[in-house]
Structure 1
Amino acid sequence: MKKDKIIYWIATGIIVAVMLWSAINFSFNEEMKGAFAHLGLPGWFRIELTVAKFLGVLALVIPMIPHRIKEFAYFGFAITLISATIAHLSSGDSVLLEIGHTFFFVSLVISYLYYYKINGLGLSKPSS
């Protein structure tokens, strides 16, 4: 069980660090306005994404947050990473940029799977 918790917190730590860093970067780096415009995204979306990332980080790191809220955070981060990949590729950015997105997405999946494992929740199978 200790190994599972270590794996969970390493994967979760990677996701939390990346999402926190990008939220702070979106907030305080003036160049990000141009980056969002380059991707064809409106300026208000940068603020919305920043708030959502901060809330998602809090949901993942605060232990007493309800399970359903944590699931929303995982889902939101997955959509964010997939959307970032699509936005960058659609705007002509290098495919090499997607190495990072893929690594973070894999970390997110590992965190999610181990969250279920260490909390004894088990992933339910859909009923037929």
Structure 2
Amino acid sequence: MKKEKIFFWTSTITIFMFEGVMPALTSQSEMAKEGIRHLGYPEYFGNALVVFKILGVLALVIPQVPKTLKEWAYAGFVFDFLFAAISHYAVDGLGVQTFFPFVVLAVLMVSYYYFHKLDAAKEKTA
């Protein structure tokens, strides 16, 4: 189970950094605000998105959070990454910005896979 924990925590902390820490620290910068405007979204949407991202990553990294809430957080991030890719494609066409959300989505899927693997092992020992 040690390997599974390493994969889970490495991928989950990566998501925590990309989707929690970075947005929390940079969301009020002019560059972030311009990025939201560039995609055609109002500024309040970016603010709401940051709040939900922070709540989502907290749900993923706090072990005491119920499994159902973690599932909702994972689902929310899947929608976030898919719609980010769609938005970038619609505005800018194919490019790095269009594909980068899929890279982060792959990291999220590693976290999700090992979350269930560890949960199943925990249920066997209980």
After superposition, give the CA deviation of every residue in 1:24-76 in whole Å (9 maximum; x if it has no partner): 322x3122222111101111101110110110011011100000100111011
CA contact (8 A) 1:12 1:111 kept: yes
Structure 2 gap ranges (5+): 122-126
Q: Give runs of aligned pairs for residues 1-128 of structure 1, distance below 5 A.
A: 1-20=1-20, 21-26=22-27, 28-92=28-92, 94-120=94-120
Whole-Å separation in 2 of the counterparts to 1:23 and 1:82 = 21
CA contact (8 A) 2:5 2:114 kept: yes
Higher helix share: 2
Q: CA RMSD in A?
A: 1.4
Work out the percentage of aligned pairs sharing the same amino acid.
36
CA contact (8 A) 2:7 2:114 kept: yes
Number of equivalenced pairs:
120
TM-score calculated relative to the size of structure 2: 0.88
Instruction: Provide the secondary structure at the position in 2 that maps to 1:120.
Output: helix
CA contact (8 A) 2:56 2:73 kept: yes
Whole-Å separation in 2 of the counterparts to 1:97 and 1:43 = 20
